Structure 1
Amino acid sequence: MFVRFLTAALLCATGFAPPVTAGAQYPLKLQNCGVDLTFDQAPDSAVTLGQAATEILYSLGLAEKVTATSVWFTEVLPEFRDTNAGIERLADNDPSFESVVARKPGLVAAQYEWHVGPQGIVATREQFADVGIPTYVLPADCWHKDNASGSDGTRSTMFEMQSVYAGVSELGRIFDVPERAEALVAQLQAREAAASDKAKALNLQDASAVFWFSSAEMDVDPYVAGRKGPPGYLMAKLGLRNIVESDEEWPAISWETIARANPSIIVIARMDRRRYEADDHEKKIAFLKSDPVTRQMDAVENDRIVILDAHAMDPSIRNIAALETLAAALPVLGLR
């Protein structure tokens, strides 16, 4: 079976930061997803709610500050496997408010507003503030994005890597390691430019795609990538047309609608999480090849199914590795 297993592995990640040559200046004042923050000094510890936040802190050399993690989609980046093994995991998915507070962190760093936000399922930012714990949400989750709908949010403009870089830069300033963030940024921006050039060289003319993250049940409408999230960014860079026109981050679209659009390739998420049956990429493949609607799509009949690291489909430092990996894989699929 011709299925390409693609892991968006990141050997070294970077983030956006303005030029900085000295340590952070305290008190440090930031506005983060509409909330004003002030830090009188670097936090002495952190609990992370979200793999993206965890891997940024690890990439900034701040693993010793991380006392507990939560919300994991895939295995940690290989270079941090030993480090991560020694750090407590509160939950694979959503931790309780009490479990986070019990660690008495100097900062809670969250990947999504829906974990820590106005309707936070772990807690609101106000609830954490009431017990003296500041919170920081990665800007990529609120950068030109409305999370008030109760779904995964709706973007008003196309996702851009600068929103990820901004998170790296700000965390570098919060923890007084701005020079590490600046160095991280320079490398990742260089990789983004090189991958973009390689993607342009593909010169695809009429190729289309759909990115399938998961489904609440195996045979119900799948959660697929909207046109303005990270997969939309990847498709735009690669010259692929997204068959999904919704601005929602992960709308549920019927397989009948997807089959009518008949995408040239199907990119499916591989993850370790098992919240839903369709989190299992092998079950995704089996469904695509057996369902009477999906098995007739050109991408399925011609084995143009690409398996991609799930975490690289959400805003994270892995997005550039996903762009590199897809740019290398598409020529093999024979697309035009």
Structure 2
Amino acid sequence: MSLVTPARPMLSGPTRVPTASRLSVAALAGAALLLTSCGTGVQDADGDAGSDDVGASGGAAASVDVALENCGQNLEFDTAPQRVVGMSPAQTELLVRLGQGDRVVGVAQTASSELPEEVSAELEEAEELSEDRPPSREELLQVEPDFVYAPTSYEFSADQGFASIDQLEEAGAASYIATGGCFERRSEGTVEDLFTDIENLGEILAAEEAAEEIIDDGRGRLEDAAELSEGSEPLSVAQVYVDGDTLSAVGGGVEYDIIAQAGGENVFSPEEDQFDSLVFAQISAEELSARNPEAIVFGAEDAAHEEATRKYLTENHPEIEAVQEDRLISVPNHQLLPGSLQNIDAVERVADGLYGG
């Protein structure tokens, strides 16, 4: 197993959540509609469906012949990884649903969201490496991984004390970054990037059949969500994040595409100068008022943050149509992590809030 050309590190941007990789300030979209509630069975590494049996791999490492590009680095595998680490709950869940539960030796940033019970049940042997931030280099290397899956480039920032891609390579571990979390694609990321990741991981982990089933289910759910807006005039939407009295807007990235997938039209655009370098930008209350969106999607860290955001918008913007119509759609921040199955939950949540009646 070899890899070259390390990817460039990336900072995700400020949020109220403790870890920078949990989303940029624009963490918007989707409610907790777990994949399991939508009929997707968990599968073993050979792609065999099992009702609730997650991660039934094992035995000798499968031979693979995989060469692909990921976030500026070329990855090559001749055997499937056997000691994998999920650098956030979203990445850990996807690994388990691909049948790798018994190969997960470490999980990180565990405080960002809870895993479904049947997924957690398959991680009894996995070591918790960190809660509120990526693990340090020493914490990660102590579990001797041979494959590390992260939501963004930030998790490999050596200047933050984390293991860099080069350092992991020296230790015999390959690194994979969710496509939507690549530095080069952060502002252009889409929900479709998730399917690229699932397909790539299926090949790397010798779990192609499981990957295909997850992809088919995800695409079907997106089609169902898109049907909610059929025959309706698209609603204008502002994506915002409120931190105290600070207001920020989203104008790019996976967050932006989720609005489009749900049938909304974002009143902010990646073409605007304020989104040149980041997918979010601090805005004034007057600017939000001038855009007068018909709906507002906002990221929420928890129930208290959701309540505080609703209060802020209601008290400070009674003139905006979205407030007058009570079309304020809350989304858990963690559902916007690049490479997360919950990106699909986010689309469903927003589409229902816009057109579900």
Give the aligned partner of residue 115 of structure 1: 155
Q: Percent identity?
A: 24
1:33 aligned to which of 53, 71, 81: 71
Q: CA deviation at 1:317?
A: 1.4
Pick the aligned partner of 2:245 from 194, 211, 219.
219
Pick aligned residue for 2:114 from 44, 61, 75: 75
Q: TM-score normalized by structure 2?
A: 0.73
Q: Is the 8 A contact 1:139 1:166 kept in 2?
A: yes
Q: Kindly tell me: are residues 213 and 51 of structure 1, through their superposed partners in 2, closer, same or farther at Cα, counting changes over 3 Å?
A: farther
Q: Which amino acid aligns with 1:187?
A: D
1:162–1:202 Cα change, 3 Å: same
Cα distance 1:84–1:287, how it changes in 2: closer, same or farther (>3 A)? farther
Do residues 299 (structure 1) and 299 (structure 2) align? no
Alignment of 1:120-159 (within 5 A): 122-142=162-182, 146=184, 153-155=186-188, 159=189
Instruction: Return the letter of the residue paired with 1:212.
Output: V
Distance 1:298 1:85, change over 3 A: farther
Residue 307 of structure 1 deviates from its aligned partner by 1.5
In structure 2, relative to structure 1, the CA distance for the partners of 1:6 and 1:169 (3 Å cut) is closer
Tell me how far 1:199 sits from its aligned partner.
3.4
User: Which residue in the other structure is 1:52 paired with?
Assistant: 90
Query: CA 1:104/1:25 → structure 2, altered by over 3 Å: closer, same or farther?
Result: closer
Equivalent position to 1:97, from 114, 130, 137:
137
Amino acid at match of 1:236: A
The match for 2:44 is none
Among 237, 243, 257, the alignment partner of 1:209 is 237
- Provide the residue aligned with 2:291 in structure 1: 261
> Is 1:271–2:296 an aligned residue pair?
no
* Superposed displacement of residue 25, structure 1: 5.2
2:313 aligned residue: 288
Aligned mates of 2:127, 2:62 — CA distance in 1: 29
Query: Would the alpha carbon gap of residues 161 and 302 (structure 1) be closer, same or farther in structure 2, given more than 3 Å must change?
Result: closer
Mapped partners of 2:196, 2:335: distance in 1: 17
Moved more, 88-97 or 115-124: 115-124
Per the alignment, residue 209 of structure 2 pairs with: 179
- Counterpart of 1:173, as a letter, is E
Partner of 2:354: 330
Give the deviation of 1:93 after TM superposition: 2.6
Instruction: Report the RMSD for the aligned CA atoms in angstroms.
Output: 3.1
Q: Deviations over 1:100-149 (max 9, x none)?
A: 1111111111110122268776232112222222211112223xx626xx
SS class of match (1:251): strand
* Residue pair 2:263, 2:351 contacting (<8 A) in 1 also: no
Correspondence for 2:254: 230
Structure 2 counterpart of 1:114, one-letter code: Y
Distance 1:87 1:288, change over 3 A: farther
Q: Secondary structure at the match of 2:269?
A: coil
CA 1:28–1:214: 2 relative to 1, 3 Å: farther
1:236–1:69 CA distance, 2 compared to 1 (3 A): same
What amino acid maps onto 2:212 in structure 1?
E
- Secondary structure of the 2:79 match is coil
How far 1:85 sits from its partner (Å)? 6.9
Query: 1:165 Cα shift?
Result: 0.9
Question: Is 2:350 the partner of 1:321?
Answer: no
Q: Is the 8 A contact 1:115 1:121 kept in 2?
A: no
Count, aligned residues: 300
In structure 1, the gaps of 5 or more residues are 15-19, 148-152, 273-277
Question: Are 2:225 and 2:262, in contact at CA under 8 Å, matched by a contact in 1?
Answer: no
1:330 counterpart letter in structure 2:
L
Structure-1-length-normalised TM-score = 0.77
Aligned AA (1:37): L
Using the TM superposition, give the Cα deviation of residue 96 of structure 1 relative to its aligned residue in structure 2, in angstroms: 1.3
Asked whether the 8 Å contact 2:267–2:293 carries over to 1, the reply is: yes
